Chains A and B, each alone.
Chain A
């Protein structure tokens, strides 16, 4: 069930025990069927586990949507070197707040998913890279890991199976870029969190130079129910290409913001007006960011027929990302919000690549100038040209991420920019 609100249209699988404090404890978790999926997985061969995940069609929930089973199958079978599984719990995409709820309500679900994943890939050590800011959630996870060790669920001999799987909870230190998988690996190794050039891909040369797979918290949390019930079971929800359920993080101008677990393919309009109770004070909708601040804005018109699956959102003109739906009503000052997002990327750019280091700062400067009423129409062309040059020219996609809101807002809300430029004042803001 969603937290802090639930809705009858939800399909609670991962979020089944949100708001249930007993589910955090090992005893409570076991009485809710916890660790049965791990036992089942340990009785299967690792290859069979990967096949189940492949059959489910589960796609990575961190934003890219890459098929999880396929990703797992890239790990080399040669077990002479250590293999690692990294769990990406460095949730920091603006608009995203699902992983914190998973960590603090169902820590054992994540631990179980990590252990199943590690078993399937032959990983001997799982590092859960948590956001340093998540002090409380990390403490809950840490206590659950302690309990799992004490009960012989993690460690030298997982549930008496003879398999050794270590888990380490590792707190980061505040850097958005460490949510990028190769930046995360560098950070884990005690380096600056600067992304690496791919190839080599992590499955070949990852953390500490060893074969590594990085999965999002939500992805790993989906594993135990899939293993327990089978791949086909998971496909009863969602679409052919985007099966299953997803946590949708809804924020901004809605009456009931929060996390809601819904089948992929759910209509965006219903999410806003039905599940989230509509827009505060019944104001009109202006724009929606459907997948966190790194994806293009959708205009109110584009929201109409948009369905929330990986393909549906692309068709509507944006991306699903990590399903972080940011709702903006008619009072929203688009230029200011885009400037704020650009300032975020300028702050978080790791500085390795020139187009990003320079570009994010210049985009922010130009947007601030426009906001102050000192912009020119030519500035809009410069912004488009500049963000074009920032797309596909850098090691990671942080640079591309600033282009998405800038270009889409200029295209869809050009009038708001022009009004500021022409009269030095905001229009279109109710």
Chain B
């Protein structure tokens, strides 16, 4: 069943019957690395990055991020509708969404601070406090649970030396339990920063953690979630 060469821990392409490279499965060769300022305004609200490097004090927004912010605003009939994409953008820059960040976003979108806090606290993807360089989210919902997800979660906690929801002393890892990530056919599904690691078993956990720290900052080795996106997009 697993004829394809094993290339990367947790990559879903290593099961199944398709002879594809990891880049082909993930679409990395097609997507390339989008520029910080985004491309067409139609697609700039498509994704929040979750980056290793974070600057909680960064100004909101300047340089290419300001360009992306302006592009987002052109896509909605109200400024309020830009709230989720703009919070995503703020988190991409600062790593988490602090009360001060929420207030700044409120100012930018001409909304009340209380309103923005009400919305921001509704959504789980906004980190309300700082997280480690690698935010490890282990799905323990039913399909993964049936296939041993709780043991995988335990293994991540043990090998990272972390308490659930807490960041390790070296700032490397925060491990949390996640609800269904829609990778049910590839249990256990784990989201680490922006990337999905699939078919994760207890045995692979130490390798994944080691891989994350050793490949730090290398866009080539770690793919799209490893470094700030600066290179040009690939040809289509």
Interface residues of A (CB under 8 A from B): 3-6, 19, 21, 24-27, 82, 91-97, 99-100, 104, 130-143, 145-147, 149-150, 154, 166-176, 187-193, 208, 249-253, 255-259, 289, 293, 324, 326, 328, 332, 337, 340-341, 344, 347-348, 350
Query: When A24-B27, A96-B182 are in contact, do A169 and B236 touch as well, CB less than 8 Å?
Result: no
Complex interface: stretch among B55-63, B143-151, B155-163, B164-172? B143-151
Least Cβ distance of A401 to chain B in Å?
13
Question: Is B125's CB under 8 angstroms from A324's CB?
Answer: no
Query: When A136-B196, A190-B78, A251-B143 are in contact, do A94 and B236 touch as well, CB less than 8 Å?
Result: no
Least Cβ distance of B137 to chain A in Å?
8
Question: Is B182's CB under 8 angstroms from A100's CB?
Answer: yes
Chain B residue with the shortest CB-CB distance to A340: B145
Write out, one digit per residue, whether chain B residues 171-192 have a CB within 8 A of any chain A CB (1) or not (0).
Answer: 0000000011111111100010
- Could you list 17 A-B pairs, sorted by A, with CB under 8 Å? A24-B30, A94-B141, A104-B26, A135-B47, A135-B48, A135-B196, A136-B26, A137-B27, A145-B40, A145-B46, A146-B39, A175-B123, A176-B179, A176-B180, A190-B80, A249-B185, A341-B141
Q: How far is the CA of A92 from the CA of B180 in the complex (A)?
A: 6
Question: Is B39's CB under 8 angstroms from A134's CB?
Answer: no
Q: Is B81 an interface residue (CB 8 A)?
A: yes
Question: Is A5's CB under 8 angstroms from B17's CB?
Answer: yes
Question: Is B87's CB under 8 angstroms from A189's CB?
Answer: no
Query: When A131-B182, A136-B224, A139-B34 are in contact, do A145 and B42 touch as well, CB less than 8 Å?
Result: yes
Task: Return chain B residues, CB-CB under 8 Å to A94.
Answer: 141-143, 179-180, 184
Task: Return chain A residues, CB-CB under 8 Å to B39.
Answer: 142, 146
Q: How far is the CA of A3 from the CA of B17 in the complex (A)?
A: 8
Q: How far is the CA of A171 from the CA of B42 in the complex (A)?
A: 12
Q: What are the 6 tightest A-B residue pairs by CB atom distance, in nearest-first order?
A: A4-B16, A190-B83, A174-B125, A142-B43, A173-B123, A251-B143
Q: How far is the CA of A142 from the CA of B44 in the complex (A)?
A: 8
Write out, one digit per residue, whether chain B residues 32-44 have a CB within 8 A of any chain A CB (1) or not (0).
Answer: 1010000111110
Chain A residue with the shortest CB-CB distance to B17: A5
Interface residue SS majority, chain A = mixed
Task: Return chain A residues, CB-CB under 8 Å to B76.
Answer: 168, 190
Query: When A3-B16, A21-B30, A131-B182 are in contact, do A189 and B42 touch as well, CB less than 8 Å?
Result: no
Write out, one digit per residue, whether chain B residues 196-223 have a CB within 8 A of any chain A CB (1) or not (0).
Answer: 1000000000000000000000000000
One of A92, A93, A132, A259 near B185 (C-beta < 8 A): A259
Q: How far is the CA of A142 from the CA of B229 in the complex (A)?
A: 15
Chain A residue with the shortest CB-CB distance to B28: A136
Write out, one digit per residue, whether chain B residues 117-159 have a CB within 8 A of any chain A CB (1) or not (0).
Answer: 0110011111000000000000011110111000000000000
Q: How far is the CA of A91 from the CA of B189 in the complex (A)?
A: 15
Query: When A135-B195, A168-B75 are in contact, do A92 and B182 touch as well, CB less than 8 Å?
Result: yes
Query: When A21-B24, A190-B78, A251-B143 are in contact, do A173 and B84 touch as well, CB less than 8 Å?
Result: yes
Question: Is A344's CB under 8 angstroms from B180's CB?
Answer: yes
Q: How far is the CA of A100 from the CA of B189 in the complex (A)?
A: 13
Q: How far is the CA of A170 from the CA of B146 in the complex (A)?
A: 32
Q: Is B20 an interface residue (CB 8 A)?
A: yes
Task: Return chain B residues, CB-CB under 8 Å to A341.
Answer: 141-142
Chain B residue with the shortest CB-CB distance to A19: B18
What 16 additional pairs, Cβ within 8 angstroms, besides A21-B30, A143-B31, A189-B80? A25-B236, A92-B179, A133-B182, A135-B225, A139-B31, A142-B46, A166-B75, A168-B45, A170-B46, A170-B84, A171-B84, A173-B84, A175-B123, A192-B122, A340-B141, A344-B141
Question: Is B47's CB under 8 angstroms from A96's CB?
Answer: no
Question: Is B42's CB under 8 angstroms from A97's CB?
Answer: no
Query: When A96-B182, A139-B34 are in contact, do A21 and B27 touch as well, CB less than 8 Å?
Result: yes
Query: When A4-B16, A94-B180, A172-B84 are in contact, do A340 and B126 touch as well, CB less than 8 Å?
Result: no
Question: Is A208's CB under 8 angstroms from B78's CB?
Answer: yes
Task: Return chain B residues, CB-CB under 8 Å to A324.
Answer: 184
Question: Is B140's CB under 8 angstroms from A340's CB?
Answer: yes
Question: Is A190's CB under 8 angstroms from B82's CB?
Answer: yes
Q: Which of A21, A139, A324 has the most CB of B within 10 A?
A: A139
Q: How far is the CA of A193 from the CA of B78 in the complex (A)?
A: 17
Query: When A191-B119, A192-B118 are in contact, do A171 and B85 touch as well, CB less than 8 Å?
Result: yes
Question: Is A99's CB under 8 angstroms from B46's CB?
Answer: no
Q: Is B66 an interface residue (CB 8 A)?
A: no
Least Cβ distance of A370 to chain B in Å?
17
Question: Is A192's CB under 8 angstroms from B146's CB?
Answer: no
Question: Is A251's CB under 8 angstroms from B81's CB?
Answer: no
Q: How far is the CA of A54 from the CA of B81 in the complex (A)?
A: 33
Q: How far is the CA of A154 from the CA of B75 in the complex (A)?
A: 14
One of B17, B45, B191 near A169 (C-beta < 8 A): B45
Q: How far is the CA of A332 from the CA of B31 in the complex (A)?
A: 41
Chain B residue with the shortest CB-CB distance to A255: B1
Q: How far is the CA of A340 from the CA of B177 in the complex (A)?
A: 12
Task: Return chain B residues, CB-CB under 8 Å to A208.
Answer: 77-78, 81
One of B15, B27, B48, B122 near A104 (C-beta < 8 A): B27
Task: Return chain B residues, CB-CB under 8 Å to A176.
Answer: 179-180
Least Cβ distance of B44 to chain A in Å?
8
Q: Is B104 an interface residue (CB 8 A)?
A: no
Question: Is A100's CB under 8 angstroms from B27's CB?
Answer: no
Task: Return chain A residues, CB-CB under 8 Å to B225.
Answer: 135
Least Cβ distance of B82 to chain A in Å?
7
Task: Return chain B residues, CB-CB under 8 Å to A100.
Answer: 182-183
Task: Return chain A residues, CB-CB under 8 Å to B50.
Answer: 135
Q: How far is the CA of A177 from the CA of B17 in the complex (A)?
A: 35
Q: Is B53 an interface residue (CB 8 A)?
A: no
Task: Return chain A residues, CB-CB under 8 Å to B183.
Answer: 97, 100
Least Cβ distance of A13 to chain B in Å?
19
Task: Return chain A residues, CB-CB under 8 Å to B143.
Answer: 94-95, 251-252, 326
Query: When A142-B34, A347-B179 are in contact, do A149 and B40 touch as well, CB less than 8 Å?
Result: yes
Q: How far is the CA of A136 from the CA of B181 in the complex (A)?
A: 13
Least Cβ distance of B80 to chain A in Å?
4
Task: Return chain A residues, CB-CB under 8 Å to B47.
Answer: 132, 135, 138-139, 142, 171
